[in-house]
Amino acid sequence: MAVDTTTIFQHGTLGLLVPGLYDGTITAGELLTHGDTGIGTLNGLYGEVIILDGHAYQAREDGQIREIAADETLPFASVHFEKPDASADLTPMSQADFEAQMLKDYQLQNMFAAIRVDGTFKKIHTRVAPRQQRPYKTLVQATATQPEFKGEHVTGTIIGYYAPHLFQGATVGGYHLHFLSADHQLGGHLLGFEIDQATVKVQRFADFKVHLPIDNTAYLQEQFDNQEIDSAINKAER
Amino acid sequence: MAVDTTTIFQHGTLGLLVPGLYDGTITAGELLTHGDTGIGTLNGLYGEVIILDGHAYQAREDGQIREIAADETLPFASVHFEKPDASADLTPMSQADFEAQMLKDYQLQNMFAAIRVDGTFKKIHTRVAPRQQRPYKTLVQATATQPEFKGEHVTGTIIGYYAPHLFQGATVGGYHLHFLSADHQLGGHLLGFEIDQATVKVQRFADFKVHLPIDNTAYLQEQFDNQEIDSAINKAER
């Protein structure tokens, strides 16, 4: 079967994590039928998910990284089938310079794009969301105290997305990047990085498909607040 | 080929109409490969589009209604392949009661759904966006003076969507309904209605797919403002 390389498939919304709808509503096995590359979180907001080359990994709050089994579930994830339409070699640069350069070079502003950076990094700074127990805290509460991890001279891969700011709430407007080191010793949601030598691959998408958990009663009944979601994403996901 | 009846396909965003990006970026012919039912507007914000049973119609500001040719283009449209999952007979009721009842009976709040109402209406009140010339005015300016049409004891069809408010901007959060009378003498964007006797068909969707005009330079370069888009949709699309 030919896979669709022009669509980002997203299960759930970033917005549903905000009030604490952390129950997994798609299996990793099903998710991987929609893409071989991406990011997400597991049932219970348990860690950070990094999907590369068809394998889904969990970075846990204890610093461990392991491959996710097909029957584990996720409340939120974005995936795509990798087929970059551009790539470039990068010289040493800061995160801010990198993000500004990608926006400019690839005119990302109003577009969905996957960003993958393979190489060596002078600095990597990640956080990992800690597993939640019911009754679930809100996303801002749950991520108020979370382990952070730092590495220097790390070889690995940044993977994630750029989304138009219009889609803030449905997803993260702007960049949403995760990291996994080549030796699987460091990973998580990226808070900061500094590139040494790397290659960036950019894949631009005409299509963004959101799949909602419409069989989940808690989701259907939640009273969402757009302002609260916007504010919470800016606090918890930047 | 089996058609996908679980996805709403949307070309463009409501947000891109707000600053005045009215150039058509998809042909009606291509649009109809993604659905046989839906709503939209034509190149130049020229009128209101109503798509029923695989035919796309334009309600024009002069009150005329005609079928759209395959090579005409649209800046924004939402379509789906019709396969309702619920239907109900409706007794006389106001728009407000209808909208509240649909929300409650079908738990629409956080879901995408297509709403089709066939029957007789005590009152129908529509507006039709007037064709714009370059340089394009903003959506609020363009719709500040627009013809409105009213009918009593009209037989026809309401077609449109309910979308979660989280997706305001990408589309219209809440209800977005158009109307076409059976005799094709009255149509447009619905401002108000009162049901006499009708049947409603509801089709709920797990998937919402947005297709962006990423080959359109004006779209790529536009500096969108989420607050302005939200406010403009509330003014121009309610």
Instruction: Write the DSSP assignment of A63-127 as a string of letters.
Output: S-EEEPPTT-EESEEEEE----SEEEEE-SEEHHHHHHHHHHHTT-TTSEEEEEEEEEEEEEEEE
For the cut 80, the answer to whether the pLDDT of residue A1 exceeds it is no
Average pLDDT, chain B: 97
pLDDT in tens, A56-74: 999 999 999 999 999 999 9
Contacts of residue A13 in chain B, CB cutoff 8 Å?
Answer: 166
Note whether B235 contacts A: Cβ–Cβ < 8 A. no
| Token pair belonging to A175 | 């960049």
The pLDDT of residue B6 is 96
**B129 in a domain, yes or no?**
yes
The pLDDT of residue B2 is 83
Q: How far apart are CA A14 and CA A237, in angstroms?
A: 9
Among residues A119, A126, A129, which one has the least CA distance to residue A154?
Answer: A119
At A13, the amino acid letter reads: T
Q: How far apart are CA B116 and CA B231, in angstroms?
A: 27
Rounded to an integer, the average pLDDT of B33-53 is: 98
Q: How many CB atoms lie within 10 A of CB A91?
A: 8
Among residues B35, B36, B32, B25, which one has the least CA distance to residue B70?
Answer: B32
The pLDDT of residue B184 is 98
Contacts of residue B7 in chain A, CB cutoff 8 Å?
Answer: 209
Closest in A164, A206, A214 to B211, CB measured: A206
Q: How far apart are CA B170 and CA A166, in angstroms?
A: 7
pLDDT category at A34 given cuts 50, 70, 90 is: very high
Give me the CATH number covering residue A215: 3.30.1330.80
pLDDT category at B118 given cuts 50, 70, 90 is: very high
pLDDT in tens, A40-57: 999 999 999 999 999 999
Contacts of residue B107 in chain A, CB cutoff 8 Å?
Answer: 220-221
Note whether B224 contacts A: Cβ–Cβ < 8 A. yes
The pLDDT of residue B105 is 97
For residues B131 and B193, the answer to whether their CB atoms sit within 8 Å is no
Q: How far apart are CA B203 and CA B111, in angstroms?
A: 10
Percent of chain B beyond pLDDT 90? 98
Beta bridge partners of B160: B115, B177
Among residues A189, A158, A233, A234, which one has the least CA distance to residue A60?
Answer: A189
Q: State how many domains chain B has.
A: 1
**B205 in a domain, yes or no?**
yes
Note whether B49 contacts A: Cβ–Cβ < 8 A. no
**A132 in a domain, yes or no?**
yes
**A2 in a domain, yes or no?**
no
Q: How many CB atoms lie within 10 A of CB A148?
A: 12
> How close B112 comes to chain A (CA, Å)?
9
The pLDDT of residue A71 is 98
The pLDDT of residue B238 is 77
Closest in A15, A110, A211 to B222, CB measured: A110
Q: Measuring CA to CA, how many Å separate A109 from each of A113, A135, B160?
A: 10, 38, 30
User: Is the reported ipTM for this assembly greater than 0.90?
Assistant: yes
Note whether B165 contacts A: Cβ–Cβ < 8 A. yes
Q: How far apart are CA B182 and CA B105, in angstroms?
A: 27
Q: How far apart are CA B23 and CA B75, in angstroms?
A: 6
User: Using the beta-carbon criterion (under 8 Å), do A111 and B206 form an inter-chain contact?
Assistant: no
Note whether A103 contacts B: Cβ–Cβ < 8 A. no
User: Using the beta-carbon criterion (under 8 Å), do A164 and B224 form an inter-chain contact?
Assistant: yes
pLDDT category at B156 given cuts 50, 70, 90 is: very high
Which of B25, B166, B215, B231 has the highest number of chain A CBs within 10 A, making it the mutation to test binding with A? B166
pLDDT category at A2 given cuts 50, 70, 90 is: confident
CA dihedral B128, B134, B138, B142 (to 10 degrees): -30
Rounded to an integer, the average pLDDT of B32-60 is: 98
Q: How far apart are CA B129 and CA B140, in angstroms?
A: 11
Interface of A with B in 121-140 (CB under 8 A): none
**A1 in a domain, yes or no?**
no
Note whether B227 contacts A: Cβ–Cβ < 8 A. no
| Token pair belonging to A189 | 């949601």
**B2 in a domain, yes or no?**
no
Rounded to an integer, the average pLDDT of B9-14 is: 98
Note whether B109 contacts A: Cβ–Cβ < 8 A. yes
Element (H, E) at B219: helix B217-221
**B1 in a domain, yes or no?**
no
Q: How far apart are CA A42 and CA A26, in angstroms?
A: 10
For residues B88 and B200, the answer to whether their CB atoms sit within 8 Å is yes
**B111 in a domain, yes or no?**
yes
3-state class (DSSP) for residue B18: coil
Average pLDDT, chain A: 97
Residue A107 structural domain:
7-236
pLDDT category at A238 given cuts 50, 70, 90 is: confident
Note whether A107 contacts B: Cβ–Cβ < 8 A. yes
Q: Based on C-alpha coordinates, what's the Rg of chain A?
A: 16
For the cut 70, the answer to whether the pLDDT of residue A206 exceeds it is yes
Contacts of residue A212 in chain B, CB cutoff 8 Å?
Answer: 110-112, 164, 206-208
The pLDDT of residue B139 is 96
Element (H, E) at A223: none
Contacts of B217 (CB under 8 A, 6+ apart): none
| Token pair belonging to A231 | 């504010």
The full length of chain A comes to: 238
User: Using the beta-carbon criterion (under 8 Å), do B165 and A204 form an inter-chain contact?
Assistant: no
